Amino acid sequence: MPNVILKSEEELSVMREAGRLLALVFRYLDKLIVPGISTMDINHWAERYIVDDLQARPASKGQYDYQYVLNASVNHVVCHGIPSATKSSNQVISLTSILPLRRAGLSPIQARCILLVM
């Protein structure tokens, strides 16, 4: 049986803070995502909120030369798609890998699917 690695209080604190920030990002985006927007719009809003309001940095941006804050997929792509300027209509948007960080450490990842119907 593999060894269980217990997190320190410091690591648990970092995880809690990262999860709290991620929840705030999704709560913010929930108010903005409506039919007619693009996944690039969502990417821009997420970046501005993380940097300007949360005073954090988007961990995905710049990692392995990735230039976006999130992964966003539409309809038939399961997850980890690249944001696009194509406007939405009747579709499902899957958002994954929004990683707001205030300091280096453990990153939360959450996937969310949003159904857009005009």
Range among 79-83, 90-94, 106-110 rated most confident: 79-83
How much of the chain exceeds pLDDT 90, in percent? 19
Position 115 scores a pLDDT of 62
Instruction: Measure Cα distances from 78 to 32, 50, 91, 117 in Å.
Output: 22, 25, 13, 19
pLDDT band at residue 44, thresholds of 50, 70 and 90?
very high
Looking at per-residue pLDDT, the higher value among 75 and 20 belongs to: 20
Q: What is the mean pLDDT of the chain?
A: 80
pTM of the model: 0.80
Domain map (residue ranges) of the chain: 9-116
21-34 as b/e, with b when 16 or more CB fall inside 10 Å?
bbebbeebbeeebe
At the topology level, CATH places domain 9-116 in Creatine Amidinohydrolase (3.90.230)
Question: Which residue type sits at 7?
Answer: K
Average pLDDT over residues 34-57: 90
Upper half-sphere CA count for residue 118 (Cβ side, 13 Å): 8
Residue 19: other Cβ atoms inside 10 A? 15
Band (pLDDT 50/70/90 cuts) for residue 102 is low
